[in-house]
Chain A
Amino acid sequence: MTRKDLSPVDLETAAPATGTMSRRRLVAGAGLAGLAGALFVDRRVFAAVDDPAQTDERPNVPTDADSAVLDLVIGFELAVSELYRRKLEAGTGSDALADAVGVMAENHQAYAQAIAGATGLSAGEANPSLVAALRNGFEGSDEEFFAAAHEVEQAAVSTHTDALGNYESNEAILVTASILIAEARHATVLADLLGVDDLDVLFGNEQGPLSLTGGDS
């Protein structure tokens, strides 16, 4: 059953793992700390309504509560797209990498546009706080970029998954599922670019959801 109480507030992202990739995680760690504060929505908007998932009357179009979260998600997706474009402008080591980065940049923009289409919101502006928090990793060396981008994709998967459990409308669930599963594939490619062989990393996700319950936007 769906909880109707307030969800616990968690401003922290997942604790950095020890061992595998720990050095790489440092690259993006600072950026993700900023990311946690940059995504802000009060989850009480979800708690204010009865759980619609238990009925057959789930609305098709996003509710106000869904749209409030999806509006932030649009800014997040556009920010990630912009970060990938900055990497492209900074240069990549190979055409193959440029192709992959270009596709990921386009994909994240498409995610923002799809959400905008579903909600009727504008897909105009990337979240500037996110871009500022993460740009160093994305504009650094290829290895720094791989680590930063991998962390962002993993955080995106966790954040979407967390939000999906609270959405009230079919459209919000549908579009979010189709986005986050694709982002998991992005993360897998980036892990391979990092040279990761550890199956726990390739198949897992140590990044927790970015906080949607507090912080400054």
Chain B
Amino acid sequence: MIPSINERTTRRDAFKIGGLTVTLGMLAAACGENRGGSDELGRIGNAEPVVQPENFSVDDAVLLRTASSLEYTAIAVYETALELEGAIPAEFVPIVERLIENHQMLADEMVELTTLAGGEPWACANPWFMDQLVAPTVASILSNVVGVVQADTSMVQVKGEILPIASTVTTSYGPIELLSDPAGLSEDDEIEFTRLEGAVVEDVLTLAIGLENLAAAAHQQLTLATGLLEARTAHVRAATLEARHGAVLAIRLAGGADGYVSPTLLGVEPSTTNTGQIRKYAISSTFAQTAQVEIKAGPADLNNVRESVILQTPAENSFVYNELEPSCDA
């Protein structure tokens, strides 16, 4: 294995020798006796020191601050969606406005209960959800379809198909409009198209359903987690209302009866929509679930694969700890 001193050392040999040296060094260190100093895991290299995260406590006030932050997050999403032209169809506007009212009512209740629990109320959106979930999801929904120009520069790969470049390109899923300048294109250039008709609306409303279901699931968990009796009933009432929100949106988005019951409850594999979006239903399970919620957001890529967004109920990374100062800049 070890090359002769007269032989040339190849790159592969160098890797082997390096790896062997590190491994033997670690073994020697681990087997050594009378070691002193820190018991922490040994480190090799010049990386920055590991910063241990703060170990903040989670009490009823933290749970209620997190709850109010979710309500404000929903309000922020709906208000943003209403400002986006065409994102919310006219027939959904009264519903969305009512949802904002309802979430404000729930937020106020959670704020009041936070005070009762001895905490400082949190009247802002959840910074973690806004940064990690809402902002990238909305950005993705609003992005355009991207195609790549082929060696034959009159052709483009888009949504899993090779199609002629034109002002309107007809895919298997429907027409999309060319947004980029078609002049002077070269191989591998990226060109943009509009999304399929109705795709943005479908994504926005599916996100809304996902957020309502997420909020309902979060309150369902908090019903058990809280030690404050007033909060227990408040959480379950909030969960019930938000489940109704999600159900109404699912029925309206599906256009009626198709949105009532998930096919999985009937032993049938559910299908996606024409745009590849995951269908949502008013009744999607026998018992109310607290599992993660999956939606699709944004256009399909070159291979017609759409990005999944996973919505999960609050946990250690998204709790609004008592040590956090309210900031409504998110």
Contact = CB atoms under 8 A, between A and B. Distances in A.
A96 B95 contact: no
Contact of B233 (A94, A164, A179, A202): A164
29 contacts: A2-B229, A53-B227, A96-B258, A96-B260, A100-B261, A102-B266, A107-B283, A110-B286, A111-B287, A161-B237, A164-B223, A173-B223, A173-B232, A177-B220, A177-B223, A177-B236, A178-B220, A179-B287, A181-B220, A181-B240, A182-B285, A185-B243, A185-B282, A188-B243, A188-B244, A189-B260, A189-B261, A189-B282, A203-B98
Interface string B221-236: 0011001111011001
Contacts, number: 128
A187 B241 CA distance: 11
A120 B123 CA distance: 44
Interface in B193-251: 216, 220, 223-224, 227-230, 232-233, 236-237, 239-241, 243-248, 251
Contacts of B233: 161, 164-165
Contacts of A99: 260-261, 266
A103 B261 contact: yes
Interface in A43-79: 51, 53-56, 58
B70 to A, nearest CB: 16
B232 A54 contact: no
A184 B244 contact: yes
**Contact residues of A: prevailing secondary structure:** helix
Interface size class of B (residues with CB under 8 A): 35 or more
Contacts of B287: 110-111, 114, 178-179, 182
Interface residues of A, number: 45
A56 B227 contact: yes
Interface of A: 1-2, 51, 53-56, 58, 94, 96-97, 99-100, 102-104, 106-107, 110-111, 114, 157, 161, 164-165, 170, 173-174, 177-182, 184-189, 192, 199, 202-203, 205
Contacts of B305: none
B29 interface: no
Given A107-B286, A188-B251, A96 B257 contact: yes
Given A177-B223, A181-B216, A184-B243, A165 B286 contact: no
